[in-house]
Structure 1
Amino acid sequence: MPHSNRAPHDSFLLCRPRSAGPLMWVLAAVAMVLAAELSRSFAIGDREASLIWPPAGLALGLAIAFGPRLLPLLAVVLYGWAVGFRGGDPLPWLLPAVGTALGPWLAVTVLRQLEARLDRPGPVGELLWTYAVGIGLGVLVSSLLGTLGLRLDPEYAQYDFGHAWGVYAISEAFGVLVFTGLAARLGRALADRDLEAALQPESWQLPWFLGLVAVVGLEAFLAGTGSESLARAATFLYFPLLAISAGRARPLFQDLVTAAIAVGLVTTAIARSGAATDGAQLRDLLEVVILVLAFTVMAQVVAAMAELLRRYLASERASARRDDLTGLANERELDDHLTRQAESDHPALLASIDVPAVRKAVDVLGLEPTNEIEEWIADRLVENTPAGAVAARIGRGTYALLDTQDLATSAASLEWLYDAIDGYRYRGGPLPLTLHPTIGMLQLEANQALPASEAQALASLVTQQARERADRRILLRPADPAELAHERATLSRVETIRSALERADGFALFGQRVEPLGDGNEPFYEILVRLRQTDGSLLSPGEFLDVAARFNLVPALDRWVAARALAACAALPGCRLSINLSGASLSDLSLLDYIDQQPGLAGLEPGRVTFEVTETEAIQHPEQATRLLAGLRKRGYKVALDDFGTGLASFEYLKTFPFDYIKIDGSFVRDALNSPADRAVVESVRQVAAVFGARTVAEFVEDAETRSWLAEVGVDFAQGFGIHRPAPLEELLPQPT
């Protein structure tokens, strides 16, 4: 999505071509000379035929890094080296030099076409593409021209053309396998001036280098004592080192290590073989070279797979900090930035942006149009977010922006954002909907050290103050403790809740009986919670739940209640309870694991436990709610929808969520005997629930007449003060003997 804010990974190997300045041209020319000279280290026989031809890999790698513009220079430099430095005949070396440019040019052209036509294949795919095209096309062409050129030399004319071409192609292919990645990534790092970061030391490298030195020393010692067979066996110790490096190193470091080890092993093998004129010696030498190159390729593939895994994990970590709907940062990411700001010596601006019409849109328009509105708002927010600032979505119609760099620019950007949203009319649904934002800007001073949750709460308070303004509902206020004295009192209540969550007796569980109205149903108790204060007195939910919700403490409270209610029910066979879950817990799939891991549940019958969610909270998180409720039902628990009927789209959501019980909101039940409309709603809910296989519970039943009427119309359960007043749970459940 355009508002994703995610920076894509740079390619693993097929990088975007960089521009090459004069210094890079000089470095490329020097590199070609060094590569050509290095080929002499791999020479065997009296004609100095090289087993590995490094210029082939260098040319292809630099063509990947900079495009084909450097290739003519490399061809000229190679020709000058061969004729001027090495004293070769001018005519035979002309075609090999041309091939050094033409082969990589064709290969890179095809690779760019593949890259443009196909989806990015990832690190492993890029590596295999490069090798397949670089060898199958680039080496094929360059080695053909090279062989044709060498045939012009009378001393080479005696060799079979096919055999000569094959040897030439294998030599270049080996060069591509060993040096292409190194040339491409080193060139890219130099062009980006990022060499230091690409080769930044890591803690594991010191013991790794010590291991490498130990293996080199062991091999030299065995060779010096005449134990050639043991020395050859010691070379296999390099391969675990290559594997370790491939799994942990950055790509450029791995390229350097791979090339260094491969060059060292091959040159050592050539030196040990001497002139290598004997057929058996040549076969032994080729076996060593092929083995080394095989491990080189394997190491590069392992490195590509390790990079793929690192990217996947990084993507998952990034996704966990992004809002699924808009791609903005989520509350977790915002909290981390606020925590870092609190520990810094920089001031910051935290804005809380509220668009209440979005929450209204859920009931009026439905989910899909509401999501479109939220995506539109997110786009406007991104457009008006200064560089370096963090834009986040906190919930339905609630957003935030944090800037620690240019506070004046941020304040101006938020003014523009207000103008962009205010008065916008969405016409994509059955009814038009006009948006009016409220923005509260909180100025955080340096070293103020406010916890993230408190900073968000203070910003929300400024938003509430802005909402009370008659004209433009945008307000900037400093985080002034004197002005926010009432909020500080609220924060004190937050600490009381946090302390209670840490104690086994911090809250008290109450139960209210849900009574069956017909045969075949068993009564059960809905779990209610009270906050126990330090003096032993109890606070009702209305006195602390809103505060807990503002500071994101409700999920912890849900777990506290669920753990103790499940334990109580597991200890009493036949116990039937209903446990409330908040909207915040609906988006926390780890709650399922938490429930599974509770001790002492061996005797619990899951079918006797129901988890309740409210309709509006489930609607706000449809995908998460569906997955959580499905997970509960899979484990055998029942699920109930509370306060049904309070939203305009109520019946639509019965298709979405798998409910066993539908609790009819008490606003339709309390006065049903005197209101034909309320009676119609109750009866229609019961009928629809029956179609979906769910049982109904009527709330707020306060008299016997209402109870009798509910039984007549087929409602399954009744709950309310006319049935039972809440009491401590230990008084309601029979205690085990």
Structure 2
Amino acid sequence: MPVNREDLGRTSDVYVAFAFAAADVLVEIDARGETVFAVGAAMALFGRGARGLVGQSLRRIVHPLDQPVFDRALAQMGQGERVRNALLRVLRPDGKAVELTLSGYRSPSDAGHILLALGHPGGLPAAARLAGTNLLDRDSFQVMATRLIEGADPDEPYQLSLVELPDLPALHSETGGTGLSAAFAAELGQRLRTLSVGGDAVGQIGDTRFGVLHAASVSADAISDSIARAAQTALPDAPAISAQVSTLVLDVADIPPEEAARALTYTLNRFAREAQNGGDLASLMKDIQPRLSETVRQMNDVRETVETGSFDLVFQPIVDLWTNAVHHFECLVRFKGNDNLSPYETVAFAEDVGMVGMLDIALLERAIEMMRSPVANTESLRFAVNLSGRSLSDPAVVRRLREILATTGDLRKRLVFEMTESAEILDLKAVNEVIQGIRQMGHEVSIDDFGAGNAAFHYLRALKVDNVKIDGSYIKDAMRNDEDVSFIKAIVQLCTDLGVTTTAEYVEDQQTANLLRLLKVRYGQGWYFGKPQRPVGDDIRTAWKTPSLEWRKGLLYFKSGAGGA
């Protein structure tokens, strides 16, 4: 079979496009919009063979309502922009509409041609849309924006415009008829989508508020003008509608694209939360650019802390309430320059912006280094390292964790883990598989802060662990609050039935420790047994001794009656 030299020249572009979009069908169109080359599973995707597309206009099979999205995407590609995973519908020969994703860019070998990649949207998260405008809801918009920003060209950062239409409620009441309002909503949604990256990066984040992710070539004036035209088209007799537009420049030059996307999501969530709490929208919109810049600065601080190792570990004893032996020490982080401050806010921020994995791994590596040093290298000393539930949900972090644990055979039984979580774990089954892998390697796993927030009873059903640490809020008032005592009893009984031990934190005095013994709690942690400390010197015999702790027959013990020293 003769080889077409033109196709040979095109082959590299085709493979680049496949790699770019993992597409089902690749199409090349010329300056007139006609298909000059097509390959892939076109019949399965939209009921037509790939060869049958050649010489035809692809636009003719796009759903009429989505043709503006298609046209806008082609215009962006023609200007040299890359479009990724725009959602639109095409019509099969039987008239059925099929949703697919469209990606593409200008051909590097022919500036007048465009390479398009079409595929099933199955790999994308399910998008929730709002009736009327057919725009993404807030959560789906954030997912879409995050994915697009991660794939953005660092030299051409996207922009996010937040739009407020304060006249919408009055407009609805004046027009009276739901048909007119529905027509305006549809027209508004369609026009905003055509301005956005990929033709679908628009979200309705409130009754009168919208977010539009767009290229730098789309100005705030263009957005305002598009909204005005939507009103003129759908409601020609209605009063003019005003739009307040505030634009964010999502400059990814200072941080990796995936972190820029997380910064956006974090900032948007704070923005939405404060707006819901009565914050003045105009002020919030003015403040959101510096908020985003501050978020990026904080993220850079976290990364620098990890990369430079600008943190220390301190160690707080967890004592066996039944024997007074020190069971292990919990490794707690202290960031340099903030030695006397709780690191909670920094760790919580790292969780919120998806950076806690790198922090967890850095702390684990530091703890392992310390455990192998002369000051701690003994079977008598065990240490617990915190791992966020979000870290255990991140495949990249889990891979790194497994790599590390493959080298820690010498620390089995000495290195234990506490799973912390400030937000609910979405895939408990997957996290449980990770936990069981850790346990099979010989490391115990505990659930931290049990009974607080998201760490609730259903965790015990889904996650098989060795220990549960009861949240300190129940321990603090146990001597004065019968309800807290009842709650502690319930946890202890449930854990006993499941073969899981219990630890109580915030044990601040001897009376509380005695009560916990009566309630059959096995371990205790708190200032009564000792504050977080650093080992003093390199001599293991003296480094861990304190006014409250002493060595006896090769084990560290809490001196009964010396609590709080």
Return the TM-score normalized by structure 2. 0.55
Alpha-carbon offset, residue 665 of structure 1: 0.8
SS in 2 for 1:696: strand
Deviations 1:672-691 (A, max 9, x none): 11111111111110000111
Per-residue displacement from partner, 1:45-104 (whole Å, max 9, x unpaired)?
A: xxxxxxxxxxxxxxxxxxx99xxxxxxxxxxxxxxxxxxxxxxxxxxxxxxxxxxxxxxx
**Aligned residue identity for 2:471:** D
CA deviation profile, 1:586-635 (whole Å, cap 9, x unmatched): 31133332123239945533333222123653544434422322332233
Does the 8 A contact of 1:344 with 1:446 survive in 2?
A: no
Are residues 446 and 639 of structure 1, via their aligned partners in 2, closer, same or farther at CA, if it must alter by over 3 Å? closer
Which residue of the other structure, out of 335, 338, 348, is the alignment partner of 1:531?
335
Aligned pairs for 1:301-320 within 5 A = 319=123
Higher mean displacement: 583-592 or 596-605: 596-605
Cα pair 2:191 2:226 within 8 Å, conserved: yes
* Cα shift readout 1:289-346 (whole Å, capped 9, x = no counterpart): xxxxxxxxxxxxxxxxxxxxx99xx989x84xx4479795875971652673763276
Structure-2 residue corresponding to 1:608: 414
CA spacing shift, 1:475–1:693, aligned 2, 3 Å: same
The structural deviation recorded for 1:385 is 7.7
Partner of 1:698: 504
Superposed counterparts of 1:588-667, under 5 Å: 588-598=394-404, 601-614=407-420, 617-647=423-453, 650-667=456-473
User: Is the Cα contact below 8 Å between 1:586 and 1:621 reproduced in 2?
Assistant: no
Match of 2:213 in 1: 402
Secondary structure of residue in 2 paired with 1:604: helix
Question: Is 1:510–1:529's contact at 8 Å kept on the other side of the alignment?
Answer: yes
Q: Which runs of 5+ in 2 are unaligned?
A: 1-20, 28-33, 36-40, 60-73, 75-116, 129-138, 165-188, 228-243, 544-565
Q: CA deviation at 1:561?
A: 0.5
- State the secondary structure of the residue aligned to 2:54: helix
Give the whole-Å Cα distance in 2 for the aligned partners of 1:351 and 1:630: 47
Question: Structure 2 CA distance, aligned partners of 1:544 and 1:184?
Answer: 55
Give 1:498 shift. Answer: 2.1
Indicate the RMSD between aligned Cα atoms, in angstroms.
5.1
More strand by proportion, 1 or 2?
Answer: 2
Secondary structure of the corresponding residue to residue 673 of structure 1: coil
Change (3 A) 1:579 1:567: same
The equivalent residue for 2:320 is 516
Higher normalized helix content (fraction of residues): 1
Take 2:541 and 2:55, find their aligned partners in 1: how far apart are those partners? 76
- Distance apart, 1:579 and its partner CA: 1.2
3-state SS, counterpart of residue 496 of structure 1? helix
Corresponding residue pairs, total: 387
Residue matched to 2:52: 187
Instruction: Rate the CA distance shift 1:723–1:447 in 2: closer, same or farther, 3 A.
Output: closer
Match of 1:689 in 2: 495
In structure 2, relative to structure 1, the CA distance for the partners of 1:185 and 1:560 (3 Å cut) is same
CA distance in 2, matches of 1:457, 1:494: 11
Residues 461-498 of structure 1: per-residue CA shift (max 9 Å, x gap): 533542342688996447554xx5xx756654443332
The residue correspondences of 1:235-384 to structure 2 (distance < 5 A) are 319=123, 322-323=124-125, 328=140, 334=146, 336-337=148-149, 340=152, 343-344=155-156, 347-349=159-161
The code of the aligned residue for 2:460 comes to L
**Structure 2: distance between partners of 1:664 and 1:619:** 18
Counterpart for residue 507 of structure 1: 311
Counterpart code for 1:726: P
Alpha-carbon contact 1:509-1:729 (below 8 Å) kept: no
Q: In structure 1, list runs of 5 or more residues that go unmatched.
A: 1-6, 16-22, 25-63, 66-114, 127-182, 198-309, 353-381, 415-439
Instruction: Quote the Cα distance in structure 2 between the aligned partners of 1:11 and 1:664.
Output: 54
Contact 1:668 1:682 in 2 (8 A): yes
Q: Counterparts of 1:412 and 1:660 in 2: how far apart (Å)?
A: 61
Q: Is the 8 A contact 2:318 2:327 kept in 1?
A: yes
Q: Match of 1:554, as an amino acid?
A: V
For residues 247-273 of structure 1, give each alpha carbon's deviation from its aligned partner in whole angstroms, at most 9, with x where no partner exists.
xxxxxxxxxxxxxxxxxxxxxxxxxxx
Shift in Å, 1:553: 2.4
The residue aligned with 1:562 is 364
Contact preservation (8 Å) 1:490, 1:547 = no
Contact kept in structure 1, 2:389 and 2:425, CA below 8 Å: no
Work out whether residues 334 and 390 of structure 1, in 8 Å CA contact, stay in contact via their aligned partners in 2: no
Does 2:275 correspond to 1:466? yes
Shift of 1:510: 0.9
User: How far did 1:736 drift?
Assistant: 13
Tell me the distance in 2 between the aligned counterparts of 1:733 and 1:332: 55
Q: Secondary structure at the match of 2:447?
A: strand
Distance 1:491 1:627 in 2: 33
- TM-score between the two structures when normalised by the length of structure 1: 0.44
Matches within 5 A, 1:713-724: 713-724=519-530
Q: Is 1:570–1:602's contact at 8 Å kept on the other side of the alignment? A: no
Contact 2:348–2:422 (Cα < 8 Å) also in 1: no
d(CA) in 1 for partners of 2:141, 2:157:
23
Task: Indicate conservation of the 8 Å contact 1:518/1:711, yes or no.
Answer: yes
Identical counterparts, % of pairs = 23
Residue type of the alignment partner of 2:359: L
Whole-angstrom CA distance in 1 between matches of 2:252 and 2:455: 45
| Secondary structure class of the residue paired with 2:55 | helix
Aligned twin of 1:146 = none
Q: Distance in 1 between matches of 2:397 and 2:250?
A: 37
Whether the 8 Å contact between 1:702 and 1:720 is mirrored in structure 2 is: yes
Give the conservation status (yes or no) of the 8 Å contact 1:529–1:561.
yes
Residue 673 of structure 1 aligns with which residue?
479
Give the Å deviation of 1:563: 1.5
- 1:568 is displaced (CA, Å) by 2.8
Query: Which protein is bigger by CA-based radius of gyration?
Result: 1
